[in-house]
Amino acid sequence: MKKRVLTFLIFLLGLSSLVFAEGSLKVVAAYGGKEKIFQQFTKDTGIKVDFIDMSSGELLSKLEAEQGKPSADVWFGGGLDSFIAAKNKGLLEKYVSPEMAEVPLKYRDKDGYWSGVSLVLVGFMVNNDILEEKGLKAPKTWADLAKPEYRDEVIMANPAISGTNYALVHNLIQALGEEKAWAYFEELGKNIPFLAKRGGEPPLKVTSGEFGVAVIPMSGEFILMEGKYPVTTIYPEDMIPWVPAGMAIFKNAENLDEAKKFIDWALSEKGQIVIRDEDPRAMVRNGVEIPKSIKTVDMSKLVNIDIERLGTEREQVLNEWKSRFGNKAK
């Protein structure tokens, strides 16, 4: 009898572990180190993750085309402007994770439709060999980047596609005012022969020697390239544009319970540390240390921005950008 009971208990344990392992989650991701991040989430929860990589601007267009029937459950990473726009269009699911109590309100939606995961800071990457060959000094400020000596040496991604570069544009608009900002972009545009299609493309073109300078998200993924290529990453000395990398659940998500567990995990202390260590950045949760690998950054240099304006003014800003620089889009 005891043997039968033991056998039955073993069967139940095996069955429960099988059911636990069958949980699944579909994620649209725009985040460095995502493979290992999702592997650790699966290890911690038993929930399998299928993911595709897509820029935030592309995804927002796709969401609108899907008309309330998303092909994924969770949106992980990418520019916050698209998250705000998606919320305003009714494309996101409200979920107030208990872990959000440890996330400052300036890094999350007050209504619970999205949360930041980490902070994306914007800076420069330079190819030291190219600059030396052409007798150029590395730019230290945004004003430097627009100087005539960098003509055709600067590469950045299209703000209509890259959330990081849209954040850059809007940060400078908020910091300088409309008139001065657009005058600045006109000068900077003279140094940019074309706009890249993806946020990760400019640093690759600098490491390969195609360009001398790139505008990049200052994440560990790119900063760590300094040890592999003749490149240097630079935080601008005048001001540092920034935006939270967002995270949200899609409206009508098929795997809603699993999606909520991912949000909880990603905002937990353990999840934040896992995510930080796979793609070093400043994280949003209170008490999680800034990784040393992203260099010493003066957080007081971050532009003082109104986060909501990133979403509400997105269409207006991008239309203006297209009217001025649409000919530079690849």
Give the confidence band of 22 by pLDDT, cuts at 50, 70, 90. low
> What residues contact 79, with CB distance under 8 A and at least 6 apart?
56, 57, 120, 162, 163, 164, 166, 167, 243, 245, 246, 310
d(CA 217, CA 280): 11
Is pLDDT above 60 for 325? Answer: yes
Q: Encoding tokens for residue 274? A: 């896992």
One-letter identity of residue 260: K
Q: 3-state SS of 44-90?
A: HHCCEEEEEECCHHHHHHHHHHHCCCCCCCEEECCCHHHHHHHHHCC
Give the confidence band of 11 by pLDDT, cuts at 50, 70, 90. very low
164-168: average pLDDT: 92
Is pLDDT above 80 for 247? Answer: yes
d(CA 217, CA 282): 12
Q: 3-state SS of 227-241?
A: HCCCEEEECCCCCEC
> What residues contact 97, with CB distance under 8 A and at least 6 apart?
115, 260, 263, 264, 267
What is the pLDDT at residue 57? 75
| Mean pLDDT estimate for the chain | 90
d(CA 115, CA 291): 21
CA 108 to the chain's CA centroid: 14
pLDDT digits 0-9 by tens, 221-231: 899 899 899 99
pLDDT digits 0-9 by tens, 293-303: 888 889 899 99
Give the confidence band of 6 by pLDDT, cuts at 50, 70, 90. very low
What is the pLDDT at residue 92? 95
d(CA 154, CA 172): 18
Is pLDDT above 70 for 318? Answer: yes
DSSP 260-312: HHHHHHHHSHHHHHHHHHHS--EESSTTPPPPGGG----GGGB----HHHHHH
